[in-house]
Structure 1
Amino acid sequence: MDPQLTTTPATARTDVPQSDQPIAAEPITPAAVRLLGLALTGGTLAWATSVLLFGTVNEGVEERIGSLTGVAFQLGLFALLAVQIRTRATGDSRVSRAMLKVELGLLAPATLWSLLNGLLPESAQDHVAMGILDVFWPLSMLGMLVIGVKLAVAGRWRGPLRWWPLIAESWFAVTMPALILAGEDGARWIGGGHLLLGYATLGLLLTLRPSLVLPR
């Protein structure tokens, strides 16, 4: 006898690796991207103002203001990372997604250092734990630079938002040589100006053009 025909649909495959599965059509809403973009711009403006007024190397009350406004900036970076993670901005592979989570791990202790440096008495700021946390500040900024390069190569974000993260996240690579070559006064203007051109503008672009980071 001929085999009977069946209309039972084929079972769904469950052996497809998670990294190979397509991402959702809209993993984050445009409204959320706008809100997180505003958080990035607001935090950056707070720290940029401190840098332009007091520089990047200071003491006393000015140092505390710099640290606490630095916390606002770092919270803005968390907002940026939230958008990058939700849109898989660096790519779909496990390594591409993991690098964003590694950056979260670097940024968290760096933010804790900024908060403690702004609040603790001076006698406590020389504790060895503060020295360890302080290392995460430059590491987190270098991590953002790596993400900026990977994001541009991946090409998931489009238009100016494909390249602006690289401009913004080159802050450390631009400001630290400026501090060495141009001194504290030069680094103040270069660092503060770069924050406005880079991260503050990036936040505005996310606010005004959220569709450029969402899947087509």
Structure 2
Amino acid sequence: MHTSSPIRRDRSAAAAAPFVVPPAFVRLTGAFSLAAMLLFAATMVLPLWPWPEARGYGAIAAIGFQVSVALQLIIVWRTNAVGSHPAWRALVVVAAITAVAGATAEAVDNLTPSATTLTVANATWFLLMAAMVVVGVGVVRSGEWRPPLRYLPLLAHSWPIVLMPATVLLGDDVAWPLYSGYLFLVQTLLAVTLLLRPDLTGARRARTETAG
């Protein structure tokens, strides 16, 4: 009778503890995210895939970006960065699936363009960005990641907050460069931080706790 309570507490604590995340995986995600952003910047000035039937120029960068977001979400999920509540963790899983689906739709649309694949690619892109804003709020709210990384996911995916008012006030011609520059800067900042400071995610702490 007296041993049941400690066992339940131990199990509860184990369930709430972060999963093991090797710092090398966090660094790899940061490096991949940085490469995707550099490719994105290149596609702003170089026509790397000039197919007139497809949206083309930014296709590879868009696919790389969405894959990098999926990798970031794996870290978020495995470190309980949004907390251990099932609803928050389910949101992370849904966002990761959306990122993979979006990257797949983007690839298919550029290989065999159609109205259907274009619609799916556009829809998943905006659903993913909306989900990532909420995930960013969850990371800030939970406080599992240490500053400044705690705030970077929300900052990196807050581009609609910048783009929409800029489009209304300044028009598409001015808003697009503003959006592109903002997206590049904040996403690059997130990528570099993951690359150089994986410990801010708790990855190193989780490994130490497991070893102990």
Q: TM-score range by the shorter chain?
A: 0.7 to 0.9
Structure 1 residue matching 2:80: 3-state secondary structure: coil
TM-score normalized by the length of structure 2: 0.81
Tell me which residue corresponds to 1:48.
41
AA at the equivalent of 1:142: A
Shift of 1:19: 8.7
Change beyond 3 A, Cα 1:155–1:15:
closer
Which aligned pairs between 1:36-115 and structure 2 lie closer than 5 A? 36-50=29-43, 52-53=44-45, 60=52, 63-115=55-107
Residue of 182, 188, 193 corresponding to 1:194: 182
Alpha-carbon RMSD across the aligned residues, in angstroms, is 3.0
Shift of 1:107: 1.7
Counterpart CA distance in 1 for 2:7 and 2:126 is: 45
**Is residue 148 from structure 1 mapped to residue 140 from structure 2 by the alignment?**
no
Change beyond 3 A, Cα 1:20–1:32:
closer
Shift of 1:158: 0.8
Change beyond 3 A, Cα 1:42–1:150:
same
Counterpart CA distance in 1 for 2:89 and 2:20 is: 14
What is the percent sequence identity of the aligned residues? 28
**Is residue 207 from structure 1 mapped to residue 201 from structure 2 by the alignment?**
no
AA at the equivalent of 2:40: W
Residue of 98, 114, 122 corresponding to 1:125: 114
Counterpart CA distance in 2 for 1:131 and 1:83 is: 29
Which aligned pairs between 1:128-139 and structure 2 lie closer than 5 A? 128-139=116-127
Change beyond 3 A, Cα 1:53–1:172:
farther
Shift of 1:148: 0.8
AA at the equivalent of 1:200: T
Counterpart CA distance in 2 for 1:103 and 1:23 is: 22
Tell me which residue corresponds to 1:27.
20
Shift of 1:131: 2.2
Counterpart CA distance in 2 for 1:45 and 1:112 is: 21
User: Highest Rg: 1 or 2?
Assistant: 1
Counterpart CA distance in 2 for 1:132 and 1:104 is: 16
- Per-residue Cα deviation, 1:166-207 (whole angstroms, up to 9, x for no partner): 110112332244344433332332122112221111010011
TM-score normalized by the length of structure 1: 0.79
Change beyond 3 A, Cα 1:116–1:19:
farther
Shift of 1:43: 1.1
Shift of 1:141: 0.8
**Is residue 164 from structure 1 mapped to residue 157 from structure 2 by the alignment?**
no
Shift of 1:147: 0.7
Shift of 1:60: 2.5
Q: Are the equivalent residues in 1 in contact too, given 2:137–2:154 (CA < 8 A)?
A: yes
Q: Are the equivalent residues in 2 in contact too, given 1:28–1:87 (CA < 8 A)?
A: yes
Q: Are the equivalent residues in 2 in contact too, given 1:68–1:118 (CA < 8 A)?
A: no
Change beyond 3 A, Cα 1:112–1:179:
farther
Structure 1 residue matching 2:7: 3-state secondary structure: coil
